[in-house]
C-alpha cells in the first residue's frame, strides 16, 4: 500500500514544477542579545556580543573572530554602533543594536574574509535519533527536544533559514525511519518536495564510539543543495549541543563557497546581459539588485531594447564569486548553466520579485 501511495504521488509530482528561491534576509546588521542591566559595563559587554554575532552572520566565518582587526573592532565596539535601545522580554532584558554596514563590511574584508550575501538557501532538516536504547525516531517541528531549540537559536544567530518536517500522515506514508537512516535519496527527495526548500539536510544522531571520541554523542549530516553535496560530523557530551554545532558546521561550509571577498587584483569591469525586462521599472529593479551584491561597487546600464539590457559592473572580486551570488538569487536565472565556462557575456533571465 505504501509503495503504491509513493508511486502515485511521485507521478503527480513529476507533472508539476515549483520554482525554488533563496530567502532574502532582512536586518543583517541588527542584533538582539540578553543584557543583565542598563549599566555601562553590562551594556558594553552586550554590544561586543552583538557585534560578534553580526560578524558571524555577515561572513559565516568563525575564524574571523581570531583576527587582530576584528579583536580591535570589538574593543572599540561603540564606533560601529548606529543606534541601540532596550526591550523587555518575557523574562529578561534585551539590548537591540543597529551596526554601521560599511564599517562592518570593511572590517571583515580587511581581516581577509568576505561577505555572505543576504540571499541564503532555505534548508529542510530531517533529524533521526537513535537513543540510549537503540530505538530510532524522526524529530519533527512539534517535538519537544532541546536539540531542536539549540538548532533554531543558532540558525537565527547565523542567518540560516531552516524548516523542520511536520511528520504528519503525508510524511509517515512517504518516508520511514529506515529511509532516512539509510539515506535513500529517492524517498527523501519525494518527501521533501512538499516543503519547497532550497536544500535538504539529513542528520543522524547516535551514541559515540568511545574508541573514536571521548564525547558521548555524535551527529553526522549530509546536505543536498541543487547539484552539490556537503557532509560533516560533530560531537558533544550533551545531545542538545549537537543542534548548535550542526548549524555552525553547515554555515561554515556554505559560507566558504558563497561569501565574496574583496580582491584588488581581480577588480575591474564585467558585463552581463539580462533578458525578460519588459519595462523600465524592471530594468531599474534589476540594476538595484545587481548593486546589492557584495563587492559590486557600481552598476551602469549600457544598452536596453527588445526587453533585454546590458549592464556593466565595476567589481572588486573574481567574476566567479559574483556569478555564484547570482545563482542563488530568486531574481536572476542563468539562461545557460555552462556559461561560467565561456568567455562570452553571461546571460540571465529576470524573474519578477
Same-domain status, 12 and 78: no
**What element of type H or E holds 351?**
none
Tens digits of per-residue pLDDT, 246-283? 999 999 999 988 888 776 556 788 899 999 999 988 99
> What confidence score (pLDDT) does residue 249 get?
97
Output the domain CATH number for residue 276.
3.30.70
Does 1 have pLDDT greater than 80?
A: no
pLDDT tier at 12, thresholds 50, 70, 90: very low
Does 154 have pLDDT greater than 80?
A: yes
Same-domain status, 140 and 228: yes
> What confidence score (pLDDT) does residue 258 get?
86
Same-domain status, 299 and 330: yes
Same-domain status, 298 and 217: no
Same-domain status, 92 and 165: no
- pTM of the entire predicted model: 0.78
Q: Degrees (nearest 5) of the Cα angle 88, 93, 94?
A: 85
Residue 19's Cβ-side half-sphere holds a number of Cα atoms within 13 Å equal to 11
Residues of the chain with pLDDT > 90, as a percent, come to 67
Q: H helices within the chain, ranges in order?
A: 2-14, 40-59, 68-75, 101-110, 146-158, 169-174, 177-182, 185-193, 241-258, 280-291, 319-327
Residue 202, phi then psi, degrees to nearest 5: -115, 120
Same-domain status, 11 and 155: yes
Output the domain CATH number for residue 221.
3.40.50
Q: Domain span at residue 33?
A: 27-110
Q: How many domains does the chain have?
A: 3
Tens digits of per-residue pLDDT, 176-235? 999 999 999 999 999 999 999 999 999 999 999 888 889 999 999 999 998 889 999 999
Of 110, 141, 173, the one marking the end of a domain is 110
Does 284 have pLDDT greater than 50?
A: yes
Amino acid at each position: 500500500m505504501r509503495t503504491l501511495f509513493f508511486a502515485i504521488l511521485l507521478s503527480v509530482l513529476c507533472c508539476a514544477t515549483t520554482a525554488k528561491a533563496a530567502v532574502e534576509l532582512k536586518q543583517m546588521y541588527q542584533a538582539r542579545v540578553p543584557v543583565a542591566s542598563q549599566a555601562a559595563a553590562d551594556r558594553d559587554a552586550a554590544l561586543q556580543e552583538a557585534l560578534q554575532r553580526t560578524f558571524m552572520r555577515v561572513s559565516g566565518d568563525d575564524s574571523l573572530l581570531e583576527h587582530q582587526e576584528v579583536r580591535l573592532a570589538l574593543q572599540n565596539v561603540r564606533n560601529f554602533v548606529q543606534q541601540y535601545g532596550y526591550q523587555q522580554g518575557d523574562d529578561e532584558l534585551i539590548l537591540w543594536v543597529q551596526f554601521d554596514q560599511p564599517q562592518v563590511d570593511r572590517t571583515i574584508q580587511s581581516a581577509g574574509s568576505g561577505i555572505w550575501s543576504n540571499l541564503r538557501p532555505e534548508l529542510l532538516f530531517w533529524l533521526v535519533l537513535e537513543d540510549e536504547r537503540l530505538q530510532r525516531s524522526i524529530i519533527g517541528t512539534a517535538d519537544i527536544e532541546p536539540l531542536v531549540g539549540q538548532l533554531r537559536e543558532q540558525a537565527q544567530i547565523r542567518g540560516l533559514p531552516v524548516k523542520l518536517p511536520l511528520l504528519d500522515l503525508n510524511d509517515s506514508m512517504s518516508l520511514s525511519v529506515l529511509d532516512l537512516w539509510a539515506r535513500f535519496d529517492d524517498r527523501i527527495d519525494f518527501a521533501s518536495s512538499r516543503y519547497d526548500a532550497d536544500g535538504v539536510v539529513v542528520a543522524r544522531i547516535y551514541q559515540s564510539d568511545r574508541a573514536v571520541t571521548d564525547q558521548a554523542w555524535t551527529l553526522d549530516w549530509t546536505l543536498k543543495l541543487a547539484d552539490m553535496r556537503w557532509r560533516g560530523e560533530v560531537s558533544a557530551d550533551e545531545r542538545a549541543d549537537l543542534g548548535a554545532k550542526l548549524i555552525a558546521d553547515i554555515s561554515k561550509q556554505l559560507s566558504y563557497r558563497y561569501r565574496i571577498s574583496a580582491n584588488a587584483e581581480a577588480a575591474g569591469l564585467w558585463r552581463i546581459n539580462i533578458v525578460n525586462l519588459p519595462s523600465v521599472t524592471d530594468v531599474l529593479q534589476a540594476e538595484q539588485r545587481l548593486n546589492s551584491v557584495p563587492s559590486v561597487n557600481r552598476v551602469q546600464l549600457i544598452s536596453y531594447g527588445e526587453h533585454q539590457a546590458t549592464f556593466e559592473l565595476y567589481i572588486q572580486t573574481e567574476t566567479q564569486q559574483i556569478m555564484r551570488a547570482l545563482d542563488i538569487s530568486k531574481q536572476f536565472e542563468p539562461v545557460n548553466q555552462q556559461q561560467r565556462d565561456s568567455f562570452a557575456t553571461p546571460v540571465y533571465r529576470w524573474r519578477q520579485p
